[in-house]
Amino acid sequence: MQGQAYIGRFAPSPSGPLHFGSLIAALGSYLRARSQQGKWLVRIEDIDPPREVAGASTLILSTLEAYGLYWDDTELYQSTRLNVYEAKLQQLLADEQAYFCQCTRKQIQAMPDSYDGRCARLHPPLTHGAIRIKNTAAIAQFHDQLMGNVSVDKAFAEEDFIIKRRDGLYAYQLAVVMDDAFQGITEVVRGSDLLTSSARQISLFQQFHAPVPEWLHLPLACDAPGHKLSKQNHAQAIDNKAPQQSIQAALGFLGQAKVDIDAPEIMLKQAVEQFDLAAIPQQQEILL
């Protein structure tokens, strides 16, 4: 990282208010960035309208502010980037680095390991359907700043995965990689539920000839063994009016020393000064 300014990010999807699990990701990425005198950006991942909740983006941003988690630059909304994603897809199709696939869920389930690439071999090629990347830069192992060497299933890593869905929505992997590259992100800090996604994203960075960021996967907050907090299982929203307790609890979860109870900005300032990467506990159990 020497000679290169640190740029980190927090990238929530507006599918509900922030809960304790998302606070961990926000705070962890914030502390890491600020302790490196780096930038901390916020990106709203709003490219899945059916899963979005009206007003959630505004609520997320006001919660970050209430917690003293001020970001640099203007927040980026993925919904403003659809033309860029589409142009990239068209270029990948033209370069035969991607192809259409019309396989049904049933056909895919009948394949032995993962998707077998059969639609790539059709002549003439299909002209509509889902779009898959021709995965020529697959990686099954990568370095995590906290977990060390991480391995994912080889068949999973090598799969020609979907970069545009059959329903016309841009796939998470494509949008995230294009935006991390666009924003110059040097390190991705997020929950370890995205560990396998990281392997796929590294292969896309490589295939796009974009610099690959570093990775740091934080442990996940669970409300029961093996049951992570998420918007999908209706984790409770964190309280905008009493951020001090949640900040202290999140610091404790991340293995960080307590700070003096004060205004959130002052608590965070102390937390940045005290930040100790090595004290963050590792995820013991991989939750996928």
CB of 161 to Zn ion, least distance (A): 12
Q: Identify whether 125 is preceded by a cis peptide bond (ω within 30 of 0).
A: no
Residue 225 half-sphere exposure toward CB, CA atoms < 13 A? 2
Residue closer to Zn ion, measured from CB, 117 or 184: 117
- Rounded Cα distance between 6 and 208, Å, is 21
CB of 159 to Zn ion, least distance (A): 12
Helix 20-35 to helix 264-274 angle (10° resolution) is 60
CB of 122 to Zn ion, least distance (A): 8
Residue closer to Zn ion, measured from CB, 129 or 184: 129
Residue closer to Zn ion, measured from CB, 102 or 141: 102
Query: Please, are residues 78 and 175 in contact by the beta-carbon 8 Å criterion?
Result: yes
1: number of Cβ within 10 Å = 10
Query: Which range in 101-109, 220-228, 230-238, 271-279 contacts Zn ion by CB under 5 A?
Result: 101-109
Residue closer to Zn ion, measured from CB, 110 or 279: 110
Out of 23, 33, 47, 103, the residue judged to bind Zn ion by CB under 5 A: 103
Site string for Zn ion, 106-145 (x = CB under 5 A): -------------x--------------------------
Residue closer to Zn ion, measured from CB, 101 or 221: 101
Site for Zn ion in 220-239 (CB under 5 A): none
Out of 26, 76, 101, 188, the residue judged to bind Zn ion by CB under 5 A: 101
Tokens matching residue 164: 């545009």
Query: Please, are residues 117 and 126 in contact by the beta-carbon 8 Å criterion?
Result: no
Q: How many residues bind Zn ion (CB under 5 A)?
A: 3
Query: Which range in 43-51, 98-106, 178-186, 207-215 contacts Zn ion by CB under 5 A?
Result: 98-106
CB of 264 to Zn ion, least distance (A): 50
CB of 175 to Zn ion, least distance (A): 22
CB of 174 to Zn ion, least distance (A): 17
Element (H, E) at 156: helix 154-158
Helices (H) and strands (E) in the chain, counts: 9, 12
**Phi then psi for 235, rounded to 5 degrees?**
-60, 145
Degrees, nearest 5: CA angle 271-275-280 = 115
Residue 53 CA, distance from chain mean position: 19
226: number of Cβ within 10 Å = 8
Query: Please, are residues 19 and 53 in contact by the beta-carbon 8 Å criterion?
Result: no
- Rounded Cα distance between 110 and 2, Å, is 48
282: number of Cβ within 10 Å = 13
Query: Which range in 88-96, 97-105, 188-196, 250-258 contacts Zn ion by CB under 5 A?
Result: 97-105
User: What value does the CA radius of gyration of the chain take, rounded to a whole number of Å?
Assistant: 20
CB of 106 to Zn ion, least distance (A): 12
Site string for Zn ion, 48-87 (x = CB under 5 A): ----------------------------------------
Residue closer to Zn ion, measured from CB, 27 or 174: 174
Residue closer to Zn ion, measured from CB, 119 or 204: 119
Q: What residues line the site for Zn ion (CB under 5 A)?
A: 101, 103, 119
